[in-house]
Each structure stands twice: as C-alpha cells, then as structure tokens.
Amino acid sequence: MTLLDVRDLHVDYGGIRAVKGVSFQVGMGELVCLIGANGAGKSSTLRGLSGLVAARGMVNYAGRELTGSPAFERVRAGLVLVPEGRGIFPMLSVDENLSVGAYARSDNAIEADRERVFSLFPRLAERRRQAGGTLSGGEQQMLAIGRALMSRPQLLLLDEPSMGLAPIVVQTIFAVIRQVNAEGVAVLLVEQNARAALQLASRAYVMDSGAITLSGDAKTLLGDAKVRAAYLGEA
C-alpha cells in the first residue's frame, strides 16, 4: 500500500529551479533511497516534503493531501525529517534534545520510547546529560535520528546521514536505519554514498538536475552500468 505519493513536485529558490516536477512513491514500511550528484535537488525534495520550503505539486501522505500544510502538522502526521547537518540543539543535553522530539506528544509512552532510543544507540545513554554540541559527529547523527524517533514517525526522511562520518560509524547508523525500518517505519533516504544506500534500500530513484532520471529495484540499479559509472565511481 502506498504511504507517500508525490506528483509533479517543484521547489524554487527565487529564480533557481531546484526541483523540476518529480513524481515518486514510498510504500508502507518501505525503504526507498534517492541518490544523485551534488546539487541534483535531493535535499530540496526532502525540504519540500517536510514543509520547510514552499513546494508546488501534490503530496499525498497516508491518504491526506499535505501540500500547503505547515511543517509541524506534517510531523504530527508522522512525516519527520532528519535534516542534513543534523540540526541538534548544541546547548541542550542529549536528554533534552530527545524531549524536543516528543514535544507534540502527550501520551504516556514517551519515557519508554526514550529508553528504546538508548537501546538503539547505547553511546547516547552514556552521554545523556552531556550537551549536544560536545558530541562527536557520529553521536550527533545518532541524536538527530533518536530525536526524530521520539516523535513516532511513520515515514522518516533522512538527509545524508552518512555525511562526514567514518566508515565504522556509518555502519552503526545504517544498521539502526535497517532495524527501525524492520520494525515498520518507512524510510526515504537521501545519500551521496550511493553504494551503501542501494545496498540498504529495496527501491531507488536517481535524481539529476532537479529531475528523476532513473528508478527501479535497488539491486538492479546497483548492477546498472550507467549507475555504476556515474554514481559508484566505476569506469
């Protein structure tokens, strides 16, 4: 069943047309990746979906038309972005950053979810009273994902979670993404690290200059000669 149905999405920054009419879908519980070169419009697509920038087109999520609805309403509906650069609050502690993720909730499972985040990322538990800004890059990425999980997403939009991290840390982050997805959370993953993303996802879309130029089964794209040459660094 389709969870997110995007049709003809456009994002402009003044005269710059960053996203030029993309259409794609994410199924319930599916892990889909969006790959492409720098400046292809991947981040802008995620920002448009999360309501952080104005977008034109149709965004149907869980049977609801979201185009034009404010960002907080999308979070409340379960559509949650983990932005590029993480966007954690450097002066707040790990615990406080996680609480920010649960700000729209009033149920009594918040503490259980916090413990769940700590079991996914034991390093965060060890540093729970430490200020976010003092964490390493990898720990900040873990915190950004943990904070998003605190809002109980149904669809997680991840913008370059591997950026600037050592391979071993990337493995930890990707293992958690896989686990969260296995528990039923759908994921739309934007990555420069195309190989790792294609290995993790079931389906993929390739973006180039604001448009989707290729799509299909992730394993098939991993073996595609054009993809290998353009995005996997193979001649």
The CB-of-190 to ligand ATP minimum distance in angstroms stands at 6
Residues 6+ apart with CB under 8 A from 93: 128, 129, 130, 131, 132
Q: With respect to ligand ATP, which residue has the nearer C-beta, 41 or 146?
A: 41
Q: Is position 66 an interface residue for ligand ATP (rule: CB under 6 A)? A: no
Cβ neighbours of residue 228 closer than 8 Å, sequence gap 6 or more: 222, 234
CB 197 within 8 A of CB 33: yes
Indicate whether 97 belongs to the interface with ligand ATP (CB under 6 A): no
Interface mask toward ligand ATP for 176-195; x: CB under 6 A:
----------------x---
The contacts of residue 133 (CB under 8 Å, 6+ apart) are: 88, 90, 91
Q: Is 41 a binder of ligand ATP (CB under 6 A)?
A: yes
Q: Distance of alpha carbon 115 from its chain centroid, rounded?
A: 22
3-state secondary structure string, 69-112?
CCHHHHHHCCEEEECCCCCCCCCCEHHHHHHHHCCCCCCCCHHH
Q: Which is nearer to ligand ATP, 120 or 158 (CB)?
A: 158
Q: Is residue 50 near ligand ATP by the rule CB under 6 A?
A: no
Name every residue whose Cβ is closer than 8 Å to that of residue 75 and which is 6 or more positions away in sequence.
50, 104, 151
Asked if 223 is part of the footprint of ligand ATP (rule: CB under 6 A), the reply reads: no
Among positions 30, 44, 185, 198, the unique one binding ligand ATP when judged by CB under 6 A: 44
Closer Cβ to ligand ATP, 13 or 72, answer by number: 13
Q: Which of 6, 31, 35, 40 binds ligand ATP (CB under 6 A)?
A: 40
**Does 16 sit near ligand ATP (CB under 6 A)?**
yes
Binding residues for ligand ATP, rule: CB under 6 A, are 13, 16, 18, 36, 38-44, 192
